[in-house]
């Protein structure tokens, strides 16, 4: 079994555990109103922001890029998350959403490793 096969098996195990426990995560549009934080972190594979902050699935959006930077591309991704909620009839963040021109209802945290 190569490394990729191992990762795929982990995914299958995770999905089976969620299904057996009756805790299958809701679709993204249904989950967005419960999001209370948006975490922007570096793509550094040595540190997982969800693990460091103790975030459970569905609690926060964790986005990673090179350097944990706020870039035009990242802002587009945030806007798309908001649009997904709009199309589904849900309000992301339970209020203001992720719209760039509207105040963000969720908290925004930026994680960066200065030695990266």
- CA nearest to 111, candidates 40, 37, 35: 40
Residue 8, pLDDT score: 92
- CA nearest to 38, candidates 77, 91, 88: 77
Domain count of the fold of the chain: 1
- The verdict on residue 84 lying in a domain is yes
Overall pTM > 0.85: no
Q: Distance from CA of residue 43 to its chain's centroid?
A: 13
Q: Span 46-69, mean pLDDT?
A: 84
- The verdict on residue 104 lying in a domain is yes
- The verdict on residue 1 lying in a domain is no
- The verdict on residue 94 lying in a domain is yes
Domain limits at 94? 26-110
- The verdict on residue 100 lying in a domain is yes
- The verdict on residue 17 lying in a domain is no
Q: How confident is the model at residue 85 (pLDDT cuts 50, 70, 90)?
A: low
- The verdict on residue 63 lying in a domain is yes
More confident position, 63 or 89: 63
């Amino acid at each position: 079994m190569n490394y990729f096969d191992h990762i795929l098996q982990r995914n299958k195990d995770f999905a089976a555990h969620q299904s057996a426990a009756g805790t299958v995560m809701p679709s993204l549009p249904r989950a967005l109103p419960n999001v209370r934080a948006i975490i922007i972190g570096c793509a550094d594979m040595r540190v997982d922001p969800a693990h460091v902050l103790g975030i459970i699935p569905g609690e926060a959006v964790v986005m990673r890029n090179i350097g944990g930077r706020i870039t035009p591309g990242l802002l587009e991704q945030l806007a798309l998350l908001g649009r997904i909620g709009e199309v589904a009839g849900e309000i992301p963040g339970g209020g203001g959403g992720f719209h760039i021109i509207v105040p963000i209802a969720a908290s925004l945290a930026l994680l960066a490793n200065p030695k990266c």
